Amino acid sequence: MEMDVERFAQKNVEKWLTGPYDEATKSEVNRLIQSDKKGLFDAFYRDLEFGTGGLRGIMGVGTNRMNIYTVGAATQGLSNYLKRCFPEVEIRVAVSHDSRHHSREFAERTADIFASNGFTVFLFDTLRPTPELSYAIRTLGCQSGVMITASHNPKEYNGYKAYWTDGAQVTEPHDIRIIEEVSKVTSPEQVLTGLHPEKIQILDASFDEKYLDELMKLSLSPESVSRHRDMRIVYSPMHGAGVRLVPAALHRMGFSNVSMVAAQAVLDGDFPTVASPNPEERATMAMAIEQGEREDADIVLATDPDSDRLAVAVPGRDGKFVLLNGNQTLVLLMSYQLTRWAQLGRLDGHQYVVKTIVTSTMADAVAQKFGVKCFDCLTGFKYIAQIIRDLSGERHRNDASWKERRWISVERISPIVLPALEPNLPHFDQKGTSFMSAGSQKWEFVGGGEESFGYLAGDYVRDKDGVSACMLAAEAAAWARDTMNLSLLEWLEQLYVEYGFYLEGLHSVTRPGKEGADEIKALMVEYRANPPREILDSKVVKVNDFLSPDTPKELHSNVLQWYTEDGTRVCVRPSGTEPKIKYYFGVRAELTRVEEYDRVERELSQKIEAIKKALQL
């Protein structure tokens, strides 16, 4: 097998040296041959594949790198697949990008190839947030779209997110079939370019106004915003695409005291002020938090480079800012939406929320209180979008591959079980109770998200939306202060008293390159063969293996979950977008009064650290 991989890499190297590739590319391949054999192997030992976030990799020459040739092959393959799916339709696509190096170049290359295939292309005039690309696909009646971004990955990365007719990232079977088409593109000579530049239409700031208008419909507490319009907000776009639209959304909502972190408002693909542009990390948020403390802000907000993820930091009792984790932000936003929907008389028993299988089960408890369905799905926002699409009864326009599906309710507080069910039942509860048929009843999506700082309110976008999430977080802060005289952190403490103190932790182990991929694969094999029998002296009473033969095909994923008698949950999964294996920890304890918050948090944090040690992490 190792020799097969080596032959594959060598074959790719030879093809790039002798084929129709530009001289600068060939020169770089020769440089790798002379001075970086390991880098050469890693650049050519495989082809990039679509994962939970689409095509993503380090920029450079090679089949395993992001460059104009891998982007070109992906786009031509996608174009061929679109022509198969929509043979009698004038195909329309939208293209956008973030601030990373080569993002504009890749976006223009993508637009050119689409146009050369005869498609009408809507290309944004400059960088835009990922959610606006999703909105454009839906609004402009597109069959597909592409966002050039590597989201929150380090600066060496770029990526290619492919979207379908509903504005969501492609899911099965489309992603697999697109890869099949891409694999048929074996030479740059098969990629159509330069044929129909007139078919590219530029989207400018006037389109932003339509998107902002849609955002304003999410507002639930305009009176509270009006009374607290001078609330101090600090925002960082993290050198990325939120630089204009997030402040514009906050100002349009009514907030008048918004300051940006100036050094991080500079568009720069090197992300010079941070080691990595991932707002999940406190070090990345340090500059924004320091400004928040200096300006005595009420809330600090940040988005990642493509502005689909949201980070929230709020002042604690000692004045030092607390960076909320993704689970806490999700619970706050979901609680705010459901509380206001209930107060406004908008809950009638036909609403639902969605979260991923590694996200806090506190969301289930919140949904249950309001009589709202809570659905679980695989990690990746495209699966949340899939539920929204099917529960709305929305068919893909002219998409013959769309099939009627039934969905199953997830009414539970205990862990999910994976029984052997009939095909095409992606979501179910532990009893397998039938819920509804798609299209038989109008169901309304309130909000949903994932622990990795992603949230979506409303269904006008079908991907996580950091712009609207910033807006809702600020409005929730104003409402909590206006109606309860509480900060967001103080309100979260009250929610923990009501539902129990849920604390989550995440530990990632990075293993780059083929050796790393093999090591991660071996770890998952070992965990399946020898799962822990107990964790911290608490017996493991349930093991969920999402690759089990009993798991419905739509839920197949390389994920393991272990549950113990004391309510602890541990999830393990290799990342679909980064060379990492991730461990998710969830623990819970009763919080009888707010005054005990620090003690219970400390005990739960110590428990998570002890679990890591027990698992030798």
Instruction: Kindly report, residue by residue over 506-529, the tens digit of the pLDDT.
Output: 999 998 888 888 999 999 999 999
- Output the pLDDT for position 212: 98
Q: Per-residue pLDDT averaged across 339-348, rounded?
A: 97
- Output the pLDDT for position 49: 77
Q: Give the range among 89-98, 567-576, 585-594 with minimum mean pLDDT.
A: 567-576
CA dist 438 → 27, 393, 402, 527 (Å): 55, 5, 12, 37
**Which domains can be identified in the chain, with CATH numbers?**
46-203 (3.40.120.10), 210-305 (3.40.120.10), 326-450 (3.40.120), 500-617 (3.30.310)
As given in the structure block, the two tokens for residue 77 are 């393959």
- Rounded to two decimals, the pTM is 0.89
Radius of gyration of the chain (CA): 24
**Which segments of 229-318 does DSSP mark as H helices, in order?**
245-253, 282-294
Q: pLDDT band for position 317 (50/70/90)?
A: confident
- Which residues is 203 bridged to in the sheet? 124
* From 103, 151, 487, 557, active-site residue: 151
Q: Per-residue pLDDT averaged across 118-139, rounded?
A: 98
3-class state of residue 229 by DSSP: coil
Other Cβ atoms within 10 Å of 556 Cβ, number:
14
Decide if pLDDT at 491 tops 90: yes
- Output the pLDDT for position 395: 52
CA dist 302 → 22, 94, 284, 487, 607 (Å): 40, 26, 10, 18, 30
Decide if pLDDT at 161 tops 50: yes
Other Cβ atoms within 10 Å of 510 Cβ, number:
11
- Which residues is 309 bridged to in the sheet? 454
**Pairing label, strands 321-323, 310-315:** antiparallel
Concerning whether 151 is annotated as a catalytic residue, the answer is yes
E strand residue ranges, 24-84: 55-58
**375-423, pLDDT tens digit by residue?**
988 888 999 998 998 888 665 444 444 343 333 333 322 233 322 222 2
Contacts of 374 (CB under 8 A, 6+ apart): 352, 353, 354, 355, 363, 364, 367, 368, 410, 411
Q: Per-residue pLDDT averaged across 361-370, rounded?
A: 96
3-class state of residue 327 by DSSP: helix
Q: What percent of the chain has pLDDT over 70?
A: 90
Average pLDDT over all residues of the chain: 89
As given in the structure block, the two tokens for residue 223 are 């009176």
Place of tokens 């206006």: 482
C-alpha 258/C-alpha 367 separation (Å) is 32
- Output the pLDDT for position 406: 34
Q: Per-residue pLDDT averaged across 52-71, rounded?
A: 89
C-alpha 166/C-alpha 94 separation (Å) is 12
C-alpha 250/C-alpha 232 separation (Å) is 11
Place of tokens 């976006």: 107
Q: pLDDT band for position 284 (50/70/90)?
A: very high
